[in-house]
Structure 1
Amino acid sequence: MLDKTVKIDGTLIHQEKRNSRLVLTQTPESNWESLLPKVKKMAYENKFGKIVGRVPEGAIKTFQLNGYRIEAKIPGLYNGHTTGYFLADYLNKDRMFLDKSQLKKSESIRAMAKAAQGSGENISERLPSNLSIQELNTGDIVQISKLHRKAFSPSSSPVYEPENLLQLFNQNHLFYGLFRQDELVVTALVKLDEDESNVEILDFATHPSYCGENLSYYLVPEIKRSTSILGYKTIYTLVRASSYGFNITLSKLGFILAGTLLNNTVVGNTLENMNVWYLN
């Protein structure tokens, strides 16, 4: 939210300086044939290394003709029936490749996640008695802010400021919280897209004292349940490809691996590959 967003020919372009990339998403005004050359020019001017487009199936030929390649595919991403694609153009060609150690670890995690597929889909029925889950509201901003200050460094996530949290609540975002007794120990940030009828889980924040307990495992089924009631068709999320824990967690909960976005997101000081998982 704190990166710069500009509009070109009616389409919003997100400039992410920290991640050295531009992100494009479909709008009713999008004319990709005329827009993509302008976007590439903008990326070069900002010295960004990558452009990512998240678009419906009808747009992929235009992207591919402009040098983009498909990195992930989510059936039903748009309103439950139109397939969505993540496509990438690399201005920095080095970002297209993984070294042998990265590739080996990624393959190992994929294999372990595949073996765990669907084994924990009823986890919400086993929520320990000392834990509770609820959707948070603006009255919880102080608690959320305190947790985020402990969970994140200022350079990696300035979202802990109360005014930024309020802005998220006012822009179709939800927070879910997991409490141990009366203490907020985990939050999940979710973005709702009413036009596309999909939900993106953007981030989890865990109190440092509870890291390693995999408590976010219990929040995902609640997100699925409550957003399904609201009529949303598809849930998706981007997860560090190097994270054994959460990739396996999502697979256990029935999520399907859609693909991997290479050298996509800076986590700490490292450019990470991101696995895309979905459920519909």
Structure 2
Amino acid sequence: MTPDLIDTLGHSTIQHGNGSDRVYLMELNDNDMPGLLPEINELAERENYGKIFAKVPAGWAETFLDDGFLTEALVPGFFRAEEDGHFMGKYLDPSRAEDPRQEEMDRILALANEASVRRSNAGADDYTVRRCTLDDCEVMAERYDDIFASYPFPVNDPAFLAETMDDNVAYFGAWQGEELAALASAEQYRRGGHVEMTDFLTVPEHRRQGLAGHLLAAMDRELRRRGLAVAYTIARALSAGMNITFARAGYRHAGTLINNTQICGNIESMQVWYKNLA
């Protein structure tokens, strides 16, 4: 499946396509408002997308609410540690606003919240965690291609990994000897003062070693040193392991994005978690 297209509207960054069947306003530029909203709506209607998802500064939230958006998650101090961030959804397909797996999602979220009081990054003594370099891009792409049948971004393309590594993404890996066992990335939005912890992967034979937790701890330390104020993630709601990993690392739950993101061929609901790094 072809990843959705990353593009610009004015000075704002969007992603859209049939994969996640949505328009995603990734980064809103104030200079584009309020005219950006009609453009996004027109694009979504023209392409018959089922949802618009937007990360919105609190100062513009009322404008989006008046346009039919809902705040699905709220991250305090998301923008430059000064302004809250609203993760907002507008459902052009009303059936998409409900997830029949809600009961299972609630059960997993309860497990994660319970696990948050028992923090542990034990194990992984045989592994080395370090930041990835351009020399690692080929094997990184192979790992992503092996694990994800489809993904919102082309992480199975070495050229994409190299390009983003040179731009705003820090990739981290866990190695056992010469073997790459796990991966994750930190996508930095310096203008907004926040970073997304994402693209987690563990090779099946290396699971249950707590590698995601070790990668997350390393990224938290690195991004704190770089002066990013808030870290967050958008985790698969049905992944108990990932939600528990973030809860144990001191992240707080911000809300649920219903039927939001296509991963491995299915559109899934996602949980938003955040942590203050400052």
Common fold: TM-score over 0.5: yes
The 1:26–1:204 alpha-carbon spacing in structure 2 relative to 1, beyond 3 Å, is: same
Residue 33 of structure 2 corresponds to: 31
Write the letter of the residue equivalent to 2:116.
Q
Residue 132 of structure 2 corresponds to: 136
Residue 200 of structure 1 and its aligned partner are, at CA, apart by 0.4
**SS at the partner of 1:246?**
helix
Residue 112 of structure 1 and its aligned partner are, at CA, apart by 1.4
Are 1:169 and 2:183 an aligned pair? Answer: no
Residues 32-71 of structure 1: pairs in structure 2 closer than 5 A: 32=34, 34-71=35-72
Are 1:11 and 2:12 an aligned pair? Answer: yes
Residue 139 of structure 1 and its aligned partner are, at CA, apart by 1.8
Distance 2:213 2:231 in 1: 15
List structure 1 segments (4+ residues) > 4 angstroms apart after TM superposition: 154-157
TM-score, with length taken from structure 1: 0.91
Which deviations, in whole Å up to 9, do the C-alpha atoms of 1:115-168 show, x marking residues without a partner? 122421x63xx4533111101111222231232232233677642222121111
Distance 1:157 1:80 in 2: 27
Residues 37-186 of structure 1: pairs in structure 2 closer than 5 A: 37-99=38-100, 102-120=101-119, 123=121, 126-153=122-149, 158-186=154-182
Residue 194 of structure 1 and its aligned partner are, at CA, apart by 1.0
CA contact (8 A) 2:124 2:210 kept: no
Write the letter of the residue equivalent to 1:20.
D
Distance 1:72 1:156 in 2: 20
Residue 16 of structure 1 and its aligned partner are, at CA, apart by 3.1
Residue 232 of structure 1 and its aligned partner are, at CA, apart by 0.8
CA contact (8 A) 1:116 1:252 kept: yes
**SS at the partner of 1:232?**
coil
CA contact (8 A) 2:4 2:152 kept: no
Aligned length: 274
Distance 2:145 2:239 in 1: 22
Are 1:208 and 2:204 an aligned pair? Answer: yes
Distance 2:150 2:70 in 1: 34
In the alignment, structure 1 segments of 5+ residues that lack a partner are none
CA contact (8 A) 2:50 2:96 kept: yes
Greater shift in the superposed pair: 65-74 or 181-190: 181-190
CA contact (8 A) 1:118 1:253 kept: no
Residue 212 of structure 1 and its aligned partner are, at CA, apart by 4.5
Which residue of the other structure, out of 226, 235, 238, is the alignment partner of 1:239? 235
Residue 170 of structure 1 and its aligned partner are, at CA, apart by 2.1
Distance 1:149 1:50 in 2: 27
The 1:167–1:40 alpha-carbon spacing in structure 2 relative to 1, beyond 3 Å, is: same
Which residue of the other structure, out of 261, 267, 270, is the alignment partner of 1:271? 267
CA contact (8 A) 1:127 1:218 kept: no
**SS at the partner of 1:164?**
helix
Write the letter of the residue equivalent to 1:78.
F
In the alignment, structure 2 segments of 5+ residues that lack a partner are none
The 1:279–1:87 alpha-carbon spacing in structure 2 relative to 1, beyond 3 Å, is: same
